[in-house]
Amino acid sequence: MINNSIPIVIRNGTIFTSNGDEPQPNGELHIVSGTITYVGTAADAPTVQASNSLVIDALGGTILPGLIEAHFHPTYFNVATLEDLDLKYPVEYVTLLASQNAACALEHGYTSARSGGSLFNIDVWLKKAIFEEVVKGPRLTASGREICGVGGLMDWNPDYRKIRMDGLVLLVNGASEATAAVRTLVKDGVEWIKTYPTGDAASPDVNNHHTLCMTFEEMRAVVTTAHNHNLKVTGHCRATKGIKNALLAGFDSIEHGTFMDDETMELLLERDVPVVPALYFEKASIVRGPAFGMPQQVIDGHQETLDAGTASAQRIIREGGRLGLGGDYGFAWNPHGDYAKELTFFVEHVGLTVKETLICATRTGAEIIGTQDTLGTLEIGKLADILIVAGDVLNDISLLEDKKNLLAVIQNGIIKAGTLFKSI
């Protein structure tokens, strides 16, 4: 990924570093060759030659780290039923859609993203295309195809159809097949292994959110093999037993973490495993699902999931755990572009402060991906992935929902999107 050879000075804004410091009014930030060289007050800033620099006026707004989408599905688009995920479009069209979804994420202030699963390993090649500036998008961490037990949540094609699921998910029966699935993904070039230890409200009859879809032995085999190849493992975990199995098996993060009892919570906190709850999807399903023909049984399941997931997220933060923010965007009722609604939801409905929420969406996101040494906070020496927002985000986090409020989305020291991008 290229950087900007022209030094940049950002002035006249409140800086939120996400590193625990108090917000800095009248802040100033300097960038040289894609790296932050100064962050602090304007009064203490070193002198720069304006004639040799690009000076950006933040217009009294907010300067913060680029947002990190920790559960990104680049290949999901207008999904109305689970079957849409593997039958709706051919791989060629899905690839084009994925590039547009990536550009959409960047335009909405997300400079990094961790894939939560992708058809046909498209995210592996999308990552390369973004890095080489072929297409625009967030710095992408790829997970490729997912792993699920046969007959589990992601195995919905009955045998009489003679349709395999290989483009979306690798189905396993037993630990040896789980090992083989990971080895296949190793060759594909993924960085995370995404699994489905449990079911979901979307499948209320056979694989609901209290159902297990993988055995502990299968999960442990996934972790052992992945860690041997320096890959990380995560999983769609809603049922209490599934979450506990994931933690005991050595998962590196938990997606959703919905139904958690005291024992499971203690284990999570002891291991310091981050959770990405993805709660706004549940709210969107409840509110907008009926317009898309969602059955009442499924809606009721999403309500149960929302209530339990909210309680778990509140407790995780209250007891010193870590949350990343991201969601299942790409469904018909939860489209790409709505990413920051997750942040507003966590403030207005989960009860986190704006500062806590922004840290989850930046610093913790970088910790989950493994880029905390170079991204996630505004500090000298870190890469210049920066968001400049018109208005006071610390007073109204919903400003992040509308890309018209983004003055500049800076990635690696280059303005890639925002209203200023259109004017230079």
Q: Is the residue at 1 inside a domain?
A: no
Q: For the chain, what percent of residues have pLDDT higher than 90?
A: 89
What is the pTM for the complete model shown? 0.96
Q: For the chain, what percent of residues have pLDDT higher than 70?
A: 99
Measured at the alpha carbon of residue 421, what is the angle toward residues 420 and 424, in degrees to the nearest 5? Answer: 85
**pLDDT tens for each residue of 11-51:** 999 999 999 999 999 999 999 999 999 999 999 999 887 77
The whole-number average pLDDT for the span 297-307 is 97
In single-letter form, the type of residue at position 120 comes to F
Looking at the fold, whether 385 and 283 belong to one and the same domain comes out as no
Which one of 369, 384, 406 terminates a domain? Answer: 369
Tokens found for residue 40: 């602090």
Looking at the fold, whether 123 and 231 belong to one and the same domain comes out as yes
If you ran DSSP here, which 8-state letter would residue 349 be given?
Answer: I
What's the confidence (pLDDT) of residue 5? 76
pLDDT over threshold 80, residue 70: yes
Helix ranges restricted to H, 48-109: 84-87, 91-107
Tokens found for residue 418: 């925002």
Q: What is the mean pLDDT of the chain?
A: 95
Rounded CA gap, 74 and 113, in Å? 10
Looking at the fold, whether 130 and 276 belong to one and the same domain comes out as yes
Burial class (CB in 10 A: 0-12, 13-18, 19+), 421: middle
Looking at the fold, whether 261 and 356 belong to one and the same domain comes out as yes
**Domain of residue 416, CATH code:** 2.30.40.10
Cα radius of gyration rounded to whole Å, the chain: 21
Looking at the fold, whether 137 and 192 belong to one and the same domain comes out as yes
**Domain of residue 147, CATH code:** 3.20.20.140
What's the confidence (pLDDT) of residue 121? 92
Number of domains the chain is built from: 2
pLDDT over threshold 70, residue 422: no
The whole-number average pLDDT for the span 287-296 is 96
What's the confidence (pLDDT) of residue 188? 94
Q: Is the residue at 100 inside a domain?
A: yes
Looking at the fold, whether 126 and 222 belong to one and the same domain comes out as yes
Looking at the fold, whether 265 and 216 belong to one and the same domain comes out as yes
Q: Is the residue at 236 inside a domain?
A: yes
Looking at the fold, whether 174 and 61 belong to one and the same domain comes out as no
pLDDT over threshold 90, residue 87: no
How sure is the predictor about 302, in pLDDT bands with cuts at 50, 70 and 90?
Answer: very high
Q: Is the residue at 3 inside a domain?
A: no
**pLDDT tens for each residue of 200-256:** 999 999 999 999 999 999 999 999 999 999 999 999 999 999 999 999 999 999 999
What's the confidence (pLDDT) of residue 30? 97
Looking at the fold, whether 123 and 212 belong to one and the same domain comes out as yes
Looking at the fold, whether 90 and 230 belong to one and the same domain comes out as yes
What's the confidence (pLDDT) of residue 424? 55
Structural domain for 393, as ranges:
8-65+376-423
The whole-number average pLDDT for the span 72-94 is 87
pLDDT over threshold 60, residue 296: yes
Which one of 369, 387, 402 terminates a domain? Answer: 369
SS3 per-residue string spanning 256-321: ECCCCCHHHHHHHHHHCCCEECCCHHHHHHHHHHHHHCCCHHHHHHHHHHHHHHHHHHHHHHHCCC
How sure is the predictor about 421, in pLDDT bands with cuts at 50, 70 and 90?
Answer: confident
pLDDT over threshold 60, residue 423: no
Rounded CA gap, 346 and 108, in Å? 18
Looking at the fold, whether 97 and 236 belong to one and the same domain comes out as yes
**Contacts with 130 (C-beta within 8 Å, 6 or more apart), sequence order:** 1, 102, 136, 137, 138, 139, 140
Looking at the fold, whether 53 and 81 belong to one and the same domain comes out as no
The whole-number average pLDDT for the span 279-284 is 98
How sure is the predictor about 90, in pLDDT bands with cuts at 50, 70 and 90?
Answer: confident
